[in-house]
Structure 1
Amino acid sequence: MAPAYSSHVCIFVSTFFTFILASSYANAAAVTSAAILVTVDQSGNGDYEKIQDAINAVPSDNKELVFIRVKPGIYKEKIVVPADKPFITISGSKENGTIITWNDSGEIFESPTFTVLASDFVGRYLTIQNTFGPGAKAVALRVSGDRAAFFGCRISSYQDTLLDDTGRHYYKSCYIEGAVDFIFGNAASLFEMCHLHSLSEGDAAITAQRRQSPSENTGFTFLGCKITGVKSAVLGRPWGAYSRVVFALTYMSDAILPQGWDDWGDSSKQSTVFYREYKCYGPGANAGKRVEWSGKLRDNEAELLLTKNMIGGKSWIRSMPTRFKKASAKHA
C-alpha cells in the first residue's frame, strides 16, 4: 500500500474521533431504564391497530424510552417517526413476522415506506419493503436521525432501497436487497453481520455514498457481512466526490465484478474517493483486477476503523429493555 493511503487513513481516523468526542453525550436526555410498553395489534387486542397511531401518541420532546411492540401481520402503512419524538423502539416479535409495506416511487425523500427523522431510534425484527419494482426511485427506509440502530431487519426494494441519509447509524444482522445504489446517502454507519443481496443484472452499484468534502465525518463500513446477487454488480460508486466505503471480513460471491468499483463516469473522483477492502473472501473478493484507485487496509489501520467507536456506538447503542411499565395518560 502506498504511503499516501496511510496518511489518508490517519486523517480519516483523527477527524472521526474528533467528531465522536464532541458529540458522545449529545443524547443525555432523562431516559429511564424501564421502557413504556405500547402494543400494536391489527386484531384490536392491543393499544393501537396501526403503527403510525402508536407513534403519534408519543408526546413531542419525549424523554422516556417508548417500546412499541408490533404483533405479527402485514401493515400497509407509510410510516414517519417525527424529529421531535426521540427514544422510540419499534419491534416485531420474530423475523419476517411484522411486515411494513407500501408501493410508492418518486423523489428519495417522498417515496420511503418508513422514514426516521428522530434521534435515538431503534428498529427490531421488522420487514420494511417498497414493492414498486424497477423503473423509478423507490425507497423502502430513510434514516435521517442521529443515533439510530436496526437489528434483524429486512429492508427491500429495487432502486434506492436504503436512504442512509444523515447521522450515526448501526445495522446488525440485517438483510438489505436492491439493484441500483441500494445503500446510499451521507451517514456515518456501521453495518455488522448484514446480508446484502444485489438484484442487478449488469454493473449496478451496491453503495452510493455521498461524502462531499474531506471535512465530513461520514462513510459506510461493512464488517463481517455477506454479499450475494442474481448476476453481477460493483461494490460502490461515488455519489459524492469524497465518497468513503470500507468492506472488511466480508464474504463476496461471484456476483461482484472483478473491478470492484466504478467512478460514475467521472475520473476526477478517482483521486478523492476512499474505497478500501480488508481480508474479504469468496470468489468476488479477488483483488487482482480491482481498479487501481481502490486499496486495502493494513492490520493497524483496520484496528482503528473497524469498531463501534467509529460511530461512537458505545455511548448510544442500547440493548433490549429489561423492565417495562404501562403508558401514562399522556401516552394513551
Structure 2
Amino acid sequence: MAPAYSSCGCIFVMTLFMFILASSRADAAVTSTAVLITVDQSGNGDYKKIQDAIDSVPSNNNELVYISVKPGVYEEKIVVPADKSFITISGLKANNVIITWNDSGNIFESPTFSVLASDFVGRYLTIQNTFGPGARAVALRVSGDRTSFIGCRILSYQDTLLDDTGRHYYKNCYIEGAVDFIFGNAASLFERCHVHTLSEGDAAITAQRRESPSENTGFTFLGCKITGVRTAVLGRPWGAYSRVIFAFSYMSNVILPQGWDDWGDLSKQSTVFYREYKCYGPGANARKRVEWSGKLTDNEAGIFLTKNMIGGRSWIRSTPTRFKKASTAISNNSTRHA
C-alpha cells in the first residue's frame, strides 16, 4: 500500500486550513442570554461545589445556563442528569480548574464526570480519574446528544473517555490514557485534539462499538496530533462494525506499522471501517498497515471532513455574550446550599 500521507507540508497545511475554515462557518451562532451561576471554593460565588450548581438548575430546564467555575481543585464525582439540558460548565483555563476523583470498576459507575443531558457544553476543564493502571477507571462519560467539549483535558489510564451515545464534538482537547481510552458508540468529531497514549506495548487508542451497518456512529479525528510514551495501535473493534477515521492528523512513531488490531476475531476484519486520509508523520506510513484497513478516496472523505457528519450546523453553539441572574428558584437553592 502507498503511504497515506503527503510529503509536502505546505500542501497539507493549506488543505487543512481550508477544511477547518469551512467547518468553522458551520458553527451555530447562538448568542442568547444565559443564566449565570458562579462556583468558587472561597465562598465568593453562588456555590462552592460544581454539583450543587448543577442541582440548582430546574428539571426540564429550557434556558441556557452558564456555570462559571473559578480556579481550584474540585474533588467531586459529578453527574449532569438527563432532565437538565442546555448547561455550560466553564473554567478560564483547563490547567487551573481540575475536577478529580479516584474510582474504578463499572464503566457507567466509575466516571469522575458523567453527562447524561443533551445540549451540554464543557469548556476549559481538566477532568481526571487518578485510579491508574489495573482496572477500568473512566474520567468522562458522555451519554447525552448534541454535546461539546472545548479546550478540555481528559485524563485517566484505562477507559479514559466513555464516548457512549449521541452526537458529540471535541475541539482542542487533550485526551490521555493507555488502554481503549476513547471508546463507546457515539457519533463524534474530534477536531484539533491532542491524543496521548501511555501504552507500553500494543494497546489500542480507540475501541469504537458500532454493532450494525445501519448505525450512523463512529469516531473521526480531524487535524489531530497523536503522541505517546512507547507504542500503540490506532484502534480495535469493540463492535463488529466499528468505524474510526483519522484525517489530516499527525502520527508520531508511537503508532505501530500495522496500525490496527482485530481484537482476536478474524471475522471482524471484513466488517470494520478503519480508514486514514492524508495523515502525516512517522506513524502514518501505511506500507505495513493491516490489509483490512485502508485509505479514503477524496469522494469518500468529504462527509468526514466537516461538522455535517454529526449534524453540527444545527446545534453547536457559541459562548453566550449576555447574562442574567438566576431565577428565584435557583437563588433560593443557592441560599440553602452555599
* Shift of residue 94, structure 1, vs aligned partner: 1.5
Secondary structure of the equivalent of 2:203? strand
Query: 1:24-83 CA distances to partner (integer Å, 9 max, x unpaired)?
Result: xxxxxxx98100000000000000000000000000000000000000000000000000
2:11 corresponds to: none
CA contact (8 A) 2:31 2:322 kept: no
* Distance (Å, rounded) in 2 between the aligned partners of 1:176 and 1:97: 17
* Shift of residue 299, structure 1, vs aligned partner: 1.2
1:89 corresponds to: 88
* Distance (Å, rounded) in 2 between the aligned partners of 1:242 and 1:184: 14
* Distance (Å, rounded) in 2 between the aligned partners of 1:322 and 1:300: 39
* Shift of residue 304, structure 1, vs aligned partner: 2.2
Secondary structure of the equivalent of 2:329? helix
* Shift of residue 305, structure 1, vs aligned partner: 2.0
Q: Which amino acid in 1 is paired with 2:89?
A: I
* Distance (Å, rounded) in 2 between the aligned partners of 1:117 and 1:97: 25
Confirm or deny that 1:118 pairs with 2:130: no
Secondary structure of the equivalent of 1:263? coil
2:69 corresponds to: 70
1:135 corresponds to: 134
* Shift of residue 300, structure 1, vs aligned partner: 1.8
* Shift of residue 331, structure 1, vs aligned partner: 1.7
1:216 corresponds to: 215
1:295 corresponds to: 294
Q: Which runs of 5+ in 2 are unaligned?
A: 2-29, 332-338
User: Which structure 1 residue ranges, 4+ long, deviate > 4 Å from structure 2?
Assistant: none
Q: Which amino acid in 1 is paired with 2:238?
A: W
Confirm or deny that 1:238 pairs with 2:237: yes
Aligned residues: 304
2:327 corresponds to: 328
Confirm or deny that 1:193 pairs with 2:164: no
2:316 corresponds to: 317
Structure 1 stretch displaced more, 293-302 or 146-155: 293-302
1:281 corresponds to: 280
2:107 corresponds to: 108
* Shift of residue 330, structure 1, vs aligned partner: 1.5
1:271 corresponds to: 270
Q: TM-score, normalised by structure 1?
A: 0.90
CA contact (8 A) 1:32 1:65 kept: no
* Distance (Å, rounded) in 2 between the aligned partners of 1:303 and 1:212: 23
Q: Which amino acid in 1 is paired with 2:187?
A: A
2:19 corresponds to: none
Q: Which amino acid in 2 is paired with 1:37?
A: L
Alignment of 1:105-184 (within 5 A): 105-184=104-183
CA contact (8 A) 2:235 2:261 kept: yes
Q: Which amino acid in 2 is paired with 1:227?
A: I
1:257 corresponds to: 256
Q: TM-score, normalised by structure 2?
A: 0.89
Secondary structure of the equivalent of 1:269? helix
* Shift of residue 295, structure 1, vs aligned partner: 0.4
Q: Which amino acid in 2 is paired with 1:127?
A: T
* Shift of residue 169, structure 1, vs aligned partner: 0.1
* Distance (Å, rounded) in 2 between the aligned partners of 1:305 and 1:87: 26
Confirm or deny that 1:79 pairs with 2:92: no
CA contact (8 A) 1:32 1:64 kept: no
* Shift of residue 87, structure 1, vs aligned partner: 0.1
Secondary structure of the equivalent of 2:68? strand
Query: 1:153-199 CA distances to partner (integer Å, 9 max, x unpaired)?
Result: 00000000000000000000000000000000000000000000000
Secondary structure of the equivalent of 2:283? coil
Confirm or deny that 1:61 pairs with 2:60: yes
CA contact (8 A) 1:112 1:130 kept: yes
Instruction: Give the share of equivalent positions with the same residue, in percent.
Output: 84
